[in-house]
Structure 1
Amino acid sequence: MNNRQLFLRHVAQTSDAPLALEITKAQGMYMWDAAGRRIMDLIAGISVCNIGHCHPQVVKAIQDQAQQYMHLLVYGELVQSPQVAFAAKLTEYLPPALNSVYFTNSGTEAVEGAMKLAKRHTGRTEIVAFKNSYHGSTQGSLSIIGQEEWRNAYRPLLPGIQHLDYNNFSALEQITARTACVIAETVQAEAGVRPPQQAWLHALREKCTQTGTLLVLDEIQCGLGRNGTLWGFERFGIVPDILLLGKALGGGMPLGAFIAARDIMWSLTNNPVLGHITTFGGHPVSCAAGLAAFNALQEAQLVPAVQAKEQLFHQYLQHPAIKAVRSQGLLMAVELENFPFNKKVIDECISQGVLTDWFLFAPECLRIAPPLIINEAEIKEACGTILHALDKMSRR
């Protein structure tokens, strides 16, 4: 029995038609399958590999830390230098109000922690989220996902959740003194890359301030440079009360975080003690990798180049079958006629050595979210493959 057969038999599946590509190596922009075929990764492991696969600085940091120590004790009890160094580095680049970092294993765990923190700090129970938002698939995160299709199979979910229309000014009146927090993606990713109106995001910030509600911005997918600024909220001129990070945070290792002011975060330390706890969150190897990746992102000055690369995609992606190209930095949605057509294009791209995908709440859109290291020649090659696939599928 080969690896693909073993994969289908023994690894729990999340769909009845997995890609089932057997990857044996990944480096920079590329992956290689078991037959030695090179595949360009145009989605960066779903926005994880911002600085590419197996960056040498990250690999070295992992090796060095693994030789020092790995797991020691549950999170928050011992002074572990990788956690301290990475938390301190992140807060250097954040506004003063975001100065306390709680590391988790993943983005959805960061969401869960933020929901608990907001309830504990405010003493309130109501949570506001938005339609077509995506925040993860654990039970609490699922409760605030913005599509009933993804929620209904797992009810009952958390009570006290409201889902409002994103970018709707009148909907903000539903935020009141009963609301513990509002959780919003800074850019709605799985909806097919839908950024907010700046005036609306400012109005949301003001409404939360007026009502004593904590504003939680989810930058798990759009943060760490992908939008063309280090933090997505920088493009809109506001600061959240809690920031959620994940995906690219660990440089390819599992890591997430929720970040707030220390006086807010202190709420988790008492009544009861251990108000939020994790065994492996902030694992020292993951934090060492994350710090190395963050430093590499800054040293290579990848973020300032994002918007120019974004424009190259717009320049090259011209085709009658493309209805729209929406983007916020190197997070892009290429809107096509429908999902069946999009899926054929995606499959053709993969067969031609370019890995892309679709969006959960916008299946008619082809996903482009490459490592930020992508260069102009690679952008041109990727776009050429997409255009070839569009030509081929349009003729059928």
Structure 2
Amino acid sequence: MHNRQLFLSHLAQTTDFPLMIEIEKAEGLYMYGPNGERYLDLISGIGVSNVGHRHPKVLQAMKDQMDKYLHLMVYGEYIQTPQTQLAEALVQTLPDGLDNVYLVNSGSEAVEGALKLAKRYSNRRGIISCVNAYHGSSHGSLSVGGNEIFKRAYRPLLPGISHIHFGKEEDLEDITTDTAAVIMETVQGEAGIRVASESYFKALRKKCDETGTLLILDEIQAGFGRTGKFWAFEHYGIQPDILVCAKGMGGGMPIGAFISSKEIMGHFKNDPLLGHITTFGGHPVSAAASLATIKILQEENIVELVEMKANLFKELLVHPKIKEVRNKGLLMCVAFESFEELKPIIDRAIEMGVVTDWFLFCDDSMRLAPPLVITKEEIKEACEIILKAIEYKA
């Protein structure tokens, strides 16, 4: 059987219409098929490959670690250098009060840990999230998701969840002394790149402080330089009580984390002990890859150039069918009239060698989240192909 047949026969499918692109190799901005096809990746595996595919420094860090050891013990028992060095590097990017890191395997798992921590610390049960929020697909993270289409088949979910509208200051009155936590994407991703104002985030922080509510910021998509700052919350003059990250964190390897203060995180140690457990969290090879990714972002002037690159996309992507381009850095959304208009454009762009996508809760808009290392020339090439795909007539 060919790979295509094996894929359809033996791998669980998530839709009836997978992209079915076969990739043999990837490097930098490009992915390559078995017959010489070349695809310019404008979605980074959905926000993962911030430093590009197979960055040599990430590969070297992984190889060096593989020569030492792989999994040794469930998370939190042995002192493992990749974990301790990664935690230190993460803390150094963060303000005081975010100094304790719990390493996990994915963004959804990080959200689960953050929700448990908020309940355990506050001894409250109410959780507030946003309409059209996306925080993952496991039961807890799905419960705080904000789109009923993806939730209704799996109810009952967690009780005590309510939703407010992102960026709507009057909704903050829903936060009370019964609220354990507000969980919010710093930039809403699957809603189609929705950005709130600095005044909104400051009002949110103030309301959480007044009610003793923990603020969880989800930067699974927005973190690690994606918005033009290392962390997206840096744009708004606030900080969360718990920060959630994953995706661009690992340089292509699976890893996530939730980060808080040592005082808050310490509540996992007692009553009950082992309050959160993960077998593979902070896997040594993934941790080594993540540490290398942080160093690349810090040392190679990548984050500082994000805004310039985003502006170049916006300058070039001008067409009557493009209704709007929304962005926070290189977390970008190109709006069209409808999904029916957009989907053939995405398909044609892929045929022409540029991979884009749409958003779960905003299917009339094209997702652009290229590796942050994309060059001006690659941006021009990509935009030229997208415009050709818009103009194409069969």
- Which category of TM-score, normalised to the shorter sequence, fits these structures? over 0.9
Where do 1:80-91 residues align within 5 Å? 80-91=80-91
Question: Residues of 2 paired with 1:235 and 1:121: CA distance?
Answer: 28
Partner of 1:358: 358
| Structure 1 spans left out of the alignment, 5+ residues | none
Where do 1:125-136 residues align within 5 Å? 125-136=125-136
Give the 3-state SS of the residue equivalent to 1:88 in structure 2: helix
Question: Residues of 2 paired with 1:155 and 1:325: CA distance?
Answer: 35
Question: Residues of 2 paired with 1:297 and 1:169: CA distance?
Answer: 34
Partner of 2:35: 35
Partner of 1:143: 143
Question: Residues of 2 paired with 1:265 and 1:241: CA distance?
Answer: 10
Deviation readout 1:126-165 (Å, 9 max, x if unpaired): 0000001100000000001111111101000000000111
Question: Residues of 2 paired with 1:111 and 1:22: CA distance?
Answer: 31
Partner of 1:290: 290
Matching of residue 79 in structure 1 with residue 118 in structure 2 = no
Deviation readout 1:65-104 (Å, 9 max, x if unpaired): 1110111111000000000000001101100110000000
Partner of 1:50: 50
Shift in Å, 1:39: 0.5
Partner of 2:387: 387
Question: Residues of 2 paired with 1:53 and 1:329: CA distance?
Answer: 20
Deviation readout 1:297-316 (Å, 9 max, x if unpaired): 11111000000001000110
Partner of 1:281: 281
Question: Residues of 1 paired with 2:175 and 2:92: CA distance?
Answer: 32
Amino acid at match of 1:255: I
Shift in Å, 1:20: 1.2
Question: Residues of 2 paired with 1:365 and 1:352: CA distance?
Answer: 19
Q: How many residues align?
A: 394
Amino acid at match of 1:5: Q
Give the 3-state SS of the residue equivalent to 2:67 in structure 1: helix
RMSD of Structure 2 on Structure 1 (CA):
0.7
Partner of 1:166: 166
Partner of 1:20: 20
Give the 3-state SS of the residue equivalent to 2:365 in structure 1: strand
Shift in Å, 1:64: 0.9
Amino acid at match of 1:32: Y
Amino acid at match of 2:149: E
Partner of 1:155: 155
Question: Residues of 1 paired with 2:163 and 2:326: CA distance?
Answer: 24
Partner of 2:209: 209
Question: Residues of 2 paired with 1:212 and 1:173: CA distance?
Answer: 14
Partner of 1:247: 247
Question: Residues of 1 paired with 2:248 and 2:332: CA distance?
Answer: 17
Moved over 3 A (4+): none
Amino acid at match of 1:88: E
Deviation readout 1:229-271 (Å, 9 max, x if unpaired): 0000000110000000000111110000000000000000000
Shift in Å, 1:340: 1.5
Amino acid at match of 1:225: G
Shift in Å, 1:289: 0.5
Question: Residues of 1 paired with 2:350 and 2:114: CA distance?
Answer: 37
> Equivalent pairs: percent with the same residue?
55
Question: Residues of 1 paired with 2:176 and 2:225: CA distance?
Answer: 33
Question: Residues of 1 paired with 2:339 and 2:384: CA distance?
Answer: 21
Deviation readout 1:170-191 (Å, 9 max, x if unpaired): 1111100000000000000111
Question: Residues of 2 paired with 1:311 and 1:296: CA distance?
Answer: 23
Question: Residues of 2 paired with 1:36 and 1:281: CA distance?
Answer: 37
Partner of 1:7: 7
Length-normalised TM-score, structure 2: 0.99
Amino acid at match of 1:127: I
Shift in Å, 1:167: 1.0
Amino acid at match of 1:74: V
Amino acid at match of 1:356: T
Amino acid at match of 2:55: H
Give the 3-state SS of the residue equivalent to 1:127 in structure 2: strand
Amino acid at match of 2:145: I
Give the 3-state SS of the residue equivalent to 1:23 in structure 2: coil
| Structure 2 spans left out of the alignment, 5+ residues | none
Question: Residues of 2 paired with 1:242 and 1:327: CA distance?
Answer: 24
Shift in Å, 1:197: 1.5
Partner of 1:376: 376
